Amino acid sequence: MNLKNTDRHPLPQQTLATPRFSVHLSSTRRGARLARLLAVEQLRSWGLPFDSAAQVIAELASNAARHGSAPGRDFRLALTVRGTDTPRIEVTDTEPDRLPAPHREAPPDDESGRGLLLVGALADRWGITAQPLGCKTVWAEIDTAGGTPEAERRG
């Protein structure tokens, strides 16, 4: 038996797939909490730091559950890794007309309204993308600098 490779019959190449995780969750406080827990576990399994990502996910999922949901419709959490060490977080909801106000000035005694300021402080990049079928995606990327713990990177 000849196992020699020839140009006519190349051996299959193993490719490294981009790590991906996606889940639909109910637009409830419980769904938002589950989004954070599932994402932390997924990032941990990929060997990536997750402290800042957990806070960003908690905020985006909470916003999707509270402000971006149509009755009976879920939100979607998706995680991918850009390059070798940059998690990209995407939360897609069903309310395209309720766009987040990234620079909203909340009154000092207001108990909400500062979440996207937190996202902006923790993420290296973030934004909003319109989606078909009346949806929007709020996304964030957090550079992990080769796996350096986030606390060390941010000083």
The token pair that represents 121 in the structure block: 């402080």
Domain around 133: 20-154
Q: Each residue of 32-86: pLDDT tens digit? A: 999 999 999 999 999 999 999 999 999 999 998 887 666 677 899 999 999 889 9
Q: What is the pLDDT of residue 150?
A: 45
Taking alpha carbons only, the member of 110, 112, 100, 118 closest to residue 57 is 118
4 lies in some domain = no
1 lies in some domain = no
Between 129 and 110, the higher pLDDT residue: 129
| DSSP SS3 for 33 | helix
15 lies in some domain = no
5 lies in some domain = no
Q: What is the pLDDT of residue 10?
A: 53
Q: What is the pLDDT of residue 39?
A: 96
For residue 130, what is the enclosing H or E element?
A: strand 125-131
2 lies in some domain = no
Q: Each residue of 1-17: pLDDT tens digit? A: 454 544 555 555 444 57
Number of domains in the chain: 1
137 lies in some domain = yes
**Which pTM was predicted?**
0.75
138 lies in some domain = yes
11 lies in some domain = no
Q: What is the pLDDT of residue 83?
A: 87
Give the CATH number of the domain where residue 27 resides.
3.30.565.10
C-alpha 66/C-alpha 77 separation (Å) is 15
